[in-house]
Amino acid sequence: MPTELRGAPTPTPARPAAWWRRAAAPLGRHRAFTVAIALAAALRVVTMLGYPPARLYWYDSFTYLDNAVHLQPSATFHPIGYPLLLRALLPFHSVTVVVAVQHAMGLATGLIGYALVRRRGLPAWVGVLAAAPVLFDASFLRLEHAVLSDALFILLVVSAVAVLGWRERPTTRAALAAGLLLAGAALTRTIGLPLLGLILLVLVLRRVSWRPLAALAVAGALPLAGYAAWYGSVHGRVALSGADGVALWARTMTFADCAVVQPPPELAPLCPNGAVQDAASEYVWDPKASINLLPGGRFAHNEQAREFALRAIAAQPLDYLRDVLADTSIAFHWTPVAHPARTVPAFGFAHGTWPLPDQPLVAEVRRTYDSDITAMRSVRPWADVLIAYQHLAYLRGPVLAAILLLGAVGAVRRPGRAALPWVVAVGLLVGPVAALDFDHRYVLPVVPVACVAAALAVRPREVQPAGSDRTCRR
């Protein structure tokens, strides 16, 4: 043997693929979800190809886009959260980019729900089932493809629930992050504001220590207080919205009887005046409704509308509760109910062109945000795929009811795991109806947190202690 090789170690055979196996190991552990999210991403690509450039609503979408350019608190229904996202995307000058980001948010929402379920010790198939509705329901595809605030709102709420549920007891740092996320949700859609109180109540009942509770409360309250102060500097009064009173007034128009309410003379003009609509929210826009006959427009009377509504609810609490429960129950019908009648509750993918309204704000948004904004149109064969797909991929009302029922069982049997997402889901379901009206669009934020609550109701698998016979057996 040559001297230079004497005592040299035997060379180890090369293993060029070892790095790939290490990199792919996490995908192997989550193979089913990897396939699911890849298919969900493909569906979103098909949606963008089938319906360019985006679904645009009058007046919500164009108000959001205009507010993103002229950034200031809105005196109507729209707080600043979603316009801030649109402002961040303004350099692209493209609503196509906006909906692409929102489709990515939908995928991220599914991923977060799956990660939370797996983190709490449940098997992969439970996590995939929990994420499946937000990943595959055609209603989410349509929602993410619209210039509306919902995709951002859903992502913020699910993220807050995941941060708080990541451990058995939330840490102070987690509570701080969750408070900021919930503040962002409330500044995106005002219905997120009660969630902060609901979550604090759940954590108090679970006897969480005071530090996380304080961190959650302060982190949630400070951004809201800052925005309210900004709103006051612009509109002359401290508030988060200039339309909350109008919305609640519209809710009471389905039952208010001024012979029972007996409002003072300054509020009497807000009484029902014989205008009849098929849904409470329609009274906001009905030109014959009493609030729209007052000088200055509906939003100029927001404070008076709120006072009238609170008086009506106090005078007729059972009538209010009856109408809220009746409208909430629409979510559980097998066949989707059009409420209001002019809306398309489901199966909205179709062939055609959806022209833009003839409004000055459209021209302004074209000039300032996206010069290429055009009417949304269907494109074959991609639209054909979605039109067929939507009838198969729709979460029926009784299925949602079953998911909520399973979550309720989990909230009772395993309150430390399922109570928080279940309470959030119920709050998101009932809150919009209590504040204004039922809308199928408002039900969609309920779905991902309700699915997480139902998944966490499942008994987690037992983890064998290290060194046990079963652990060591080969």
The pLDDT score that the predictor gives to residue 17 is: 54
Q: Identity (one letter) of the amino acid at 95?
A: V
Same domain, 278 and 416: no
Q: Is 146 helix (H, G, I), strand (E, B) or coil?
A: strand
Same domain, 232 and 248: no
Same domain, 295 and 414: no
* Average pLDDT of adjacent 10-residue blocks, the chain of 474 residues: 49 53 63 96 98 93 94 88 97 97 98 95 94 97 96 98 94 96 96 94 93 96 95 89 92 95 94 91 93 89 94 96 96 93 88 92 94 95 96 95 96 90 97 94 96 91 45 36
Same domain, 211 and 248: no
Return the structure tokens found at 446: 């309920």
Q: Is 459 helix (H, G, I), strand (E, B) or coil?
A: coil
Same domain, 100 and 190: yes
Is residue 316 one of the residues assigned to a domain? yes
d(CA 178, CA 166): 11
Same domain, 165 and 56: yes
Q: Is 372 helix (H, G, I), strand (E, B) or coil?
A: coil
**202-212 CB burial, b ≥16 within 10 A, e <16:** bbeeeebeeeb
- C-alpha angle with apex 373: 372 to 376, nearest 5 degrees? 125
Determine contact, residues 188/159, Cβ cutoff 8 Å.
Answer: no
320 CB-contact burial (10 Å; exposed 0-12 / middle 13-18 / buried 19+): buried
Domain residues for the domain of 171 are: 31-236+332-457
Same domain, 129 and 74: yes
The pLDDT score that the predictor gives to residue 58 is: 86
d(CA 72, CA 58): 20
Nearest CA among 351, 354, 353 for reference residue 384: 351
Determine contact, residues 424/402, Cβ cutoff 8 Å.
Answer: no
Nearest CA among 256, 280, 281 for reference residue 267: 256
Is residue 2 one of the residues assigned to a domain? no
Q: How far is CA 280 from CA 118, 276, 305, 403, 415, in A?
A: 41, 10, 14, 27, 35
Sign of CA dihedral 429, 435, 438, 440: negative
Determine contact, residues 81/152, Cβ cutoff 8 Å.
Answer: yes
Determine contact, residues 216/178, Cβ cutoff 8 Å.
Answer: yes
Q: Omega into 442 within 30° of 0, i.e. cis?
A: no
Is residue 14 one of the residues assigned to a domain? no
Is residue 19 one of the residues assigned to a domain? no
- C-alpha angle with apex 285: 280 to 290, nearest 5 degrees? 80
The pLDDT score that the predictor gives to residue 296 is: 87
Q: Identity (one letter) of the amino acid at 428?
A: L
Determine contact, residues 345/440, Cβ cutoff 8 Å.
Answer: yes
Is residue 451 one of the residues assigned to a domain? yes
The pLDDT score that the predictor gives to residue 5 is: 45
Cα 186 to the chain's mean position, in Å? 11
Same domain, 407 and 448: yes
Domain end (from 322, 346, 370): 322
Determine contact, residues 99/437, Cβ cutoff 8 Å.
Answer: no
- Tell me the angle at which helices 415-435 and 317-328 cross, rounded to the nearest 10 degrees: 110
Same domain, 169 and 307: no
Secondary structure letter of residue 473 according to DSSP? -
Determine contact, residues 443/425, Cβ cutoff 8 Å.
Answer: no
Q: Identity (one letter) of the amino acid at 385?
A: V
Show contacts of 116-122: CB within 8 Å, 24+ apart.
116/161, 116/162, 116/165, 116/166, 116/452, 117/452, 117/455, 117/456, 118/30, 119/166, 120/165, 120/417, 120/456, 120/460, 121/460, 121/461, 121/463, 122/455, 122/456, 122/458, 122/460, 122/461
Same domain, 424 and 395: yes
Domain end (from 268, 300, 322): 322
What DSSP letter does each residue of 393-433 carry, written as one string? S---HHHHHHHHHHHHHHHHH-HHHHHHHHHHHHHHHHHHH
d(CA 443, CA 153): 12
Same domain, 411 and 292: no
Q: How many domains does the chain have?
A: 2
d(CA 287, CA 290): 8
Matching residue, tokens 């859903």: 154
Same domain, 55 and 139: yes
- Tell me the angle at which helices 150-165 and 172-186 cross, rounded to the nearest 10 degrees: 160
